[in-house]
Structure 1
Amino acid sequence: MTDDAHCGEERRPTVEGLQRRLADFAAARSWQPYHTPKNLATALSVEASELVEIFQWLTPEESAGVMRDEAAAHRVRDEVADVLAYLLQFCEVLGVDALAALSEKIDRNELRFPVE
């Protein structure tokens, strides 16, 4: 498939393409009424907590090596995908450009925390 949201050898997904796929997925299932900012923020928090759960009782050394265990790596990738999906849907609903917001935040942090 040539859609820019699908990972392929020739093209990487884009934020806009992924947001379109997520919106289409939700629309096909009539889920839009449930995708309110409050519900999406709550779902994002739950998924972030599920990512934290993977690391909850690991030592620093174990957590640094988590991706060497294929089962754990699969769980990490799935939870990262869930967190990103809800964040992108949240941004879409509120009209937030996630990349611009991040860039602006980095700009502010560079001023707040200058290199000495």
Structure 2
Amino acid sequence: MDVAGLQRRLADFARVRQWGPFHTPKNLAVALSVEASELVEIFQWLTPEQSARVMKDEESAHRVRDEVADVLAYLLQFCDVLGVDALAALSEKIDRNESRFPAP
């Protein structure tokens, strides 16, 4: 499945449930922030060593995968609503960063 296909699935999911009026850029940005915070919460009190092993425990790995999915879902919906090509935006940002931070 590609990004556009996932965006279509998410848009169809929201449309069928009549969530369109709630999927404003502001609401989606807020939801994205909340889900990112839930991902951070998993790591909040872990040592660097513990955080590196988080995917070895099935319960915490499941939580990480779920929160990553939530973050990505809201990001893709946000981009869809605003007409942002997420992959193009990322590629352009990498280009700018390569110029700003040249390799030694």
Sort the TM-score into its range (normalised by shorter chain): over 0.9
Q: Identity rate of aligned residues, in percent?
A: 83
Figure out how many residues of one structure are paired with residues of the other and give that number: 104
2:28 is aligned to 40
1:14 is aligned to 2
After superposition, residues 1-116 of structure 1 pair within 5 angstroms as 13-116=1-104
Q: Structure 1 stretches of 5 or more lacking a match?
A: 1-12
TM-score (norm 2): 0.99
Q: Structure 2 stretches of 5 or more lacking a match?
A: none
Whose helix proportion is higher, 1 or 2? Answer: 2
Q: What is the aligned-residue RMSD (CA, Å)?
A: 0.3
Distance 1:30 1:87 in 2: 19
Higher RCO, Cα 8 Å, sep 6+ = 2
What's the CA shift for 1:115? 1.0
TM-score (norm 1): 0.89
